[in-house]
Amino acid sequence: MNSGCPPGFRVRSAVPTQLLWIVQSTLFRLSPQAFYGWRRWLLRLFGANIGKGAFLRPSVRVTYPWKLKVGNHCHIGDEVVLYTIGEI
């Protein structure tokens, strides 16, 4: 079955991508504002490299977290979409 993506585009199968979509739409997005550690942990579960003390707001969206690196004490604000087609 062809997903329409070139080979190696996602790096991972469609299953983790769909699971990520569910997690971001529920556990991540509905978490209280102050739960920055929770959101860092969720993204790390999907392979993101999130620095110590980074702040990610609940409305942040990450397409492919396994292609994301966020430094220590960075702040990603409301409604930011990190469309990680390549590494960010």
Confidence of residue 2 (pLDDT cuts 50, 70, 90): low
**pLDDT value at residue 32:** 97
Single out the residue of 23, 29, 22 nearest to residue 78, CA to CA. Answer: 29
What integer pLDDT is reported at residue 52 of this predicted model? 97
Question: What is the per-residue pLDDT for 15?
Answer: 87
Give the pLDDT confidence of 31-59 residue by residue, as tens digits: 999 999 999 999 999 999 999 999 999 99
Spell out the long-range contacts of 54-60 with Cβ–Cβ below 8 A and sequence spacing 24 or more. Answer: 57/33, 58/28, 58/29, 58/30, 58/31, 58/32, 58/33, 59/29, 60/28
pTM of the model: 0.84
Average pLDDT estimate for 19-28: 96
CA distance 60 to 5: 24
Beta strand segments in the chain, E: 49-50, 55-56, 61-62, 69-70, 75-76, 81-82
